[in-house]
């Protein structure tokens, strides 16, 4: 019984940490981001909306370090990418497709 209680408490701590990290990542990417070559501009708003080169997008960040991007409310397609944020918060990488600098 004692092992089960310890396991449940440990699981709750891990889940809480992951949820907090996801919220922290969501706050850190708010703003305007541009690829190094200037071809793509992402704007991430705090409410989960934004733009990609002027077209509306909707996004969400999972506790597993993934970002889901939906390019249209009409479309139900959501593309999921790994999300990496530099320690200083000035660069992000979305999958292998986009390396962005904060504008």
Spell out the domain ranges in the chain.
2-102
1 close to 64: Cβ distance less than 8 angstroms:
no
User: For residues 37, 55, 20 and 95, what is the CA-based torsion angle, rounded to 10 degrees?
Assistant: -40
59 by Cβ neighbours in 10 Å (0-12 / 13-18 / 19+) ranks as buried
Q: How far apart are the first and last CA of the chain?
A: 53
Q: What is the CATH number of domain 2-102?
A: 2.40.128.290
30 close to 45: Cβ distance less than 8 angstroms:
yes
Q: 16-54 pLDDT, tens per residue?
A: 333 334 568 889 999 999 999 999 999 999 999 999 999
Which residues, in sequence order, are bridge partners of residue 43?
Answer: 32, 51
Q: What is the pTM of this model?
A: 0.74
């Amino acid at each position: 019984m004692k092992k089960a209680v310890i396991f449940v408490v440990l699981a709750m701590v891990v889940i809480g940490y992951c949820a907090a990290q996801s919220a922290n990542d969501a706050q850190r990417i708010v703003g305007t981001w541009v690829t190094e070559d200037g071809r793509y501009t992402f704007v991430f708003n705090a409410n989960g909306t934004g733009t990609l080169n002027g077209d509306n997008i909707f996004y969400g960040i999972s506790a597993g370090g993934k970002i889901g991007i939906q390019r249209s409310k009409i479309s139900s397609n959501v593309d999921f990418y790994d999300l990496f944020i530099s320690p200083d918060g000035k660069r992000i990488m979305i999958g292998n497709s986009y390396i962005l600098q904060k504008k």
